Structure 1
Amino acid sequence: MTSPTQDARRVPADLADRLLDIRRIYHEPGIERFPRAQQVLDRYPDAERIEVPSHQAIPGLYGNEGNVEDWVRNKREVLVLGEKKSLSARRNERSSDWIAPSTANGCAMACSYCYVPRRKGYANPITVFANIEKILGYLQRHAARQGVKAEPNQCDPVDWVYDIGENSDCSVDAMVSDNVRDLVDLFARLPNAKASFATKLVNRALLDYDPRGGTRVRFSLMPAETSRVVDVRTSKIADRIAAIDDFVEAGYEVHLNFSPVIVHENWLADWSELLDQIADGTSERTRGQLAAEVIFLTHNEGLHDVNLGWHPTGEDLLWRPDLQQLKRSQSGQWNVRYKTPWKGRWVTELTELIAAKLPTCRVRYAF
């Protein structure tokens, strides 16, 4: 008979087989000097190894428009190993107090609204940063300098919150290396700090970690019909909801990431159904500790053009000129957001619906 622990470990293996078939590993010179890099190389012994000057500049991978046709293949078959040379914690004050230095970048999943590919140029496979000990040391020292949090804020009433997955999904990263386990272990020990990451993947191997309340998992949720179109290569919405209680029991704090909220003709009715599913699928204990962030879709003209080359169906939902307005970003690109008068009303409608359907779930912020 299979024990629950053995069964939990088998599920991620199935996920790894579906998401990852690593055949090429691009790596910086001398990357083997890092034990974490050696761990990853040993995990994929048959992969071709290609030395490159920098993880940020890989000829033929980044900036190659022809890679649009191989969008998903690159995510499945390519891995990058590099060193995170510049370490800094950036103030956030929205989903977290600080954005931690990345221990990974990119993703094996392929959500068609993801902003990260805009920066990398027609390919977005996982990059693992191998100097994990240096990153952990930086975070420990940074948290120590903050001292006790003087007053509550919407990030957390007690702890300084560090987002450890801004440019990746930690549930996927944990299938490639032990970086995520090391981060969870660190924040379990820190007396004044908490890790946080959003995820669209149920990786039950994380239930074997010992977070001791030091890590907040934010399960990203949207109505299932919409998710089936735009959440490419992710866990089903029903599976994410079904995992919430298990993560709470394992010692994680679990919040909800209602993002992105995508408006269409029946969007509010779909959200009503989703909120009922959450209420019916979670325990009283879980619902009592829930909080949520609500983020309406921001899309990008450049990403729209890229998506037309590999997943045009998703753009029927994401690119709605009749509902959206253009806004120039700080980087000079054109973003599209829902038109201001309508968006304000829609934000109010959704937050009122959350209050009615999940009255114990505090909305930390909505925009």
Structure 2
Amino acid sequence: MTVPPLDVARILVEPAAAAHPRGRQILERFPGAERVEVASHWNIPDLHGDSDKIEEWVRTKRSVLVLGVKKSLSVRPNGRSGDFIAPSHSNGCAMACVYCYVSRRKGYANPITTFVNIEGICATIERHAARTGPKTQPNQVDGQAWVYDVGENGDCSVDALICDNLRDLTALFRRLPDAKGSFATKYVNRDLLSYDPGGGMRIRFSLMPAELARTLDVRTSPIPERIAAIDDFVRAGWEVHLNFSPVVVYEGWTADYTELFRQVDAALSDRAKAQLAAEVIFLTHNEGLHEVNLRWHPKAEETLWTPRWQESKVSENGAVNVRYRAPLKGKMIAVFREMLAREMPYCRIRYIF
């Protein structure tokens, strides 16, 4: 079984978050934790931008929690993981996946920040859903419902160990007629099986070959545990999709991914197979994160940093990242499609890039 990824010893809290009912609940949940008042959940010098914290990367993620109030409550269009990106109810993660884009953006260990004003977040989503109305044309995201990604900047399954934000979101989407929530996860939290989503929530289990995950997916649930959870979540009323992200290419990757597909196929019931779909995202890396990783987990970079196969790419937010070279990546995508179609022909790819 997975070891819980949190052992909160220090809580950095905005005054307004400490006064909020959800904030008080969280503080009461961790009575032994040291409390430190901070002016802003975003600008905490000894967490964000402090390179000395690299050596404490994993310990910080496990033991530090930040509580704040989400100031900007807006819904953004997406079109990939969801039709829309909901206002974040958290930012950062207790797990330590070495390729994490949130670390690239926010800096260093980036432990969980929980936003306590969940009622405002839910109200924003509900108003947006009411204005949007029914989905009249199916798309790759969903055939009937407008899908809101509620976990863009963290892992909701771990967030649920802290408070009931995810439970509240699940209750919201259970009653919204034309909307569905969605999030990707690398942590099997079986408490979620009691949430009664009523078909209103999509959980996307992230998968990669197990041996690769032992190096790259630090502090996450083992791949066999994630695969074994799929049927249980389907039976509990969740829609379950797969998130092959990132797909990492290395010598022997096709054999390892073929074996992964066979493991998934052997574990799924007919009911799970009938509702299954996948999203596929090939690795994007970053030179700054590469340098950081070399200081705390250099073994991972042997697989992630492969200049002979990679080229620079300027992302939408202006960051300079690296990705697999375009002509080569096109061939990689074709190979992945062929392997998945051969081993799991029922698994529709929603999008791949």
> Which category describes the TM-score, using the shorter chain as reference length?
over 0.9
Q: Alignment partner for residue 148 of structure 1, among 134, 137, 162?
A: 134
Superposed structure 1 runs of 4+ greater than 4 Å apart: none
Q: How does 1:328-367 map to 2 (within 5 A)?
A: 328-367=314-353
Report the counterpart of residue 21 of structure 2 in structure 1. 35
Structure 1 position 29, deviation (Å): 1.6
DSSP 3-state at the match of 1:258: strand
Report the counterpart of residue 15 of structure 1 in structure 2. 3
Is structure 2 residue 57 aligned with structure 1 residue 71?
yes
Is structure 2 residue 248 aligned with structure 1 residue 297?
no
Work out whether residues 16 and 68 of structure 2, in 8 Å CA contact, stay in contact via their aligned partners in 1.
no
| Stretch moving more, 133-142 or 114-123 | 114-123
DSSP 3-state at the match of 2:311: strand
DSSP 3-state at the match of 2:254: helix
DSSP 3-state at the match of 2:180: strand
Report the counterpart of residue 207 of structure 1 in structure 2. 193
DSSP 3-state at the match of 2:242: strand
Work out whether residues 301 and 333 of structure 1, in 8 Å CA contact, stay in contact via their aligned partners in 2.
no
- Give the whole-Å Cα distance in 1 for the aligned partners of 2:340 and 2:247: 13
TM-score (normalizing by structure 1): 0.95
- Give the whole-Å Cα distance in 2 for the aligned partners of 1:331 and 1:208: 38
DSSP 3-state at the match of 1:306: helix
Is structure 2 residue 72 aligned with structure 1 residue 86?
yes
Q: How does 1:239-254 map to 2 (within 5 A)?
A: 239-254=225-240
Report the counterpart of residue 242 of structure 2 in structure 1. 256
Report the AA paired with residue 98 of structure 1: F
- Give the whole-Å Cα distance in 2 for the aligned partners of 1:333 and 1:193: 32
- Give the whole-Å Cα distance in 2 for the aligned partners of 1:134 and 1:142: 12
Structure 1 position 223, deviation (Å): 0.6
Work out whether residues 16 and 69 of structure 2, in 8 Å CA contact, stay in contact via their aligned partners in 1.
no
Q: Percent identity?
A: 61
Report the AA paired with residue 140 of structure 1: E
Structure 1 position 359, deviation (Å): 1.0
- Give the whole-Å Cα distance in 1 for the aligned partners of 2:296 and 2:159: 24
Report the counterpart of residue 178 of structure 2 in structure 1. 192
Work out whether residues 184 and 205 of structure 2, in 8 Å CA contact, stay in contact via their aligned partners in 1.
yes
Q: How does 1:120-131 map to 2 (within 5 A)?
A: 120-131=106-117
- Give the whole-Å Cα distance in 2 for the aligned partners of 1:238 and 1:41: 34
- Give the whole-Å Cα distance in 1 for the aligned partners of 2:45 and 2:352: 40
Work out whether residues 173 and 179 of structure 2, in 8 Å CA contact, stay in contact via their aligned partners in 1.
yes
DSSP 3-state at the match of 1:25: strand
Report the counterpart of residue 8 of structure 1 in structure 2. none
Q: Alignment partner for residue 95 of structure 1, among 54, 69, 81?
A: 81
Report the counterpart of residue 109 of structure 1 in structure 2. 95
- Give the whole-Å Cα distance in 2 for the aligned partners of 1:35 and 1:73: 28
Q: How far does the alpha carbon of each residue in 1:246-291 deviate from its partner, in whole angstroms, 9 at most, with x for none? A: 0000000000001100000100111100000011011011011100
- Give the whole-Å Cα distance in 1 for the aligned partners of 2:91 and 2:278: 24
Report the counterpart of residue 118 of structure 1 in structure 2. 104
Report the counterpart of residue 202 of structure 2 in structure 1. 216
Work out whether residues 221 and 237 of structure 1, in 8 Å CA contact, stay in contact via their aligned partners in 2.
yes
Count of matched residue pairs = 353
Is structure 2 residue 40 aligned with structure 1 residue 54?
yes
Structure 1 residues not aligned, in runs of 5+: 1-10
TM-score (normalizing by structure 2): 0.98
Structure 1 position 15, deviation (Å): 3.4
Report the AA paired with residue 182 of structure 1: D
Structure 1 position 32, deviation (Å): 2.7
Work out whether residues 222 and 271 of structure 1, in 8 Å CA contact, stay in contact via their aligned partners in 2.
yes
